[in-house]
Amino acid sequence: MNYTHAMVQPSGDSCRAWQLLVRFFFAQREHLPTLDGELELSPIQCHVLHLLEPGRPLPMGRLAGMLGCHASNVTGLVDRLEARGVVQRRPSADDRRIKVLDLTPEGSRLRAQMLRRMTTGARPMSRLTVGQQRTLVKILEVLVDDSSSCDTGRMAK
């Protein structure tokens, strides 16, 4: 028996889930240029706006990790968002050496507009019932293990 081959074969459902997730997210990319054009933000700026939650300061180093880049690369991005009045950078209350980002009122407004735009209308999520959407959220929270999500509760492990 070829054990190497057996170890590399993903389970059918696991493989299919990955294929569908990747296909879904790449299909949604076509909506991003319209979205960033409406908000006058680049796709990466929209992504940063999505990652920041109102009233929850995020260390710049953690943002860099979430974006998969070095902290020095985040500085220019934050500079542009700060100049636009969307975010503010300040020392952390816990450690003044650490800079944290927080949304300004304008940033919170833009973020809400972006999320509303992404979640309404003829988007694929609107084809799901409210119950299906809740189930999907719970499943994705388990997969992402994101404790900073939108106060929706967590699926029991």
CA angle 67, 33, 63 (to 5 degrees): 15
Q: How many domains does the chain have?
A: 2
Which structural domain range is residue 138 located in? 123-157
Residues 57 and 90 reside in one and the same domain: yes
79 and 22 share a domain?
A: yes
> Contact, 62 vs 94, CB < 8 A?
no
Residue 132 shares a structural domain with residue 113? no
Q: DSSP assignment of 69-119, as one string?
A: S-HHHHHHHHHHHHHTTSEEEEE-SS-TTSEEEEE-HHHHHHHHHHHHHHH
* Pair (29, 105) in one structural domain: yes
CATH number at residue 41: 1.10.10.10
Kindly state whether residues 21 and 89 are assigned to the same domain.
yes
* pLDDT tens-digit profile, the chain (157 residues): 444 454 555 578 888 888 988 888 877 776 665 666 777 888 888 889 989 999 999 999 999 999 999 888 999 999 999 999 999 999 999 999 999 999 999 999 999 988 887 776 657 777 889 999 899 999 988 988 754 444 433 333 3
Q: Does some domain include residue 85?
A: yes
Which candidate, 119, 117, 140, 141, places its Cα nearest to that of 128?
A: 119
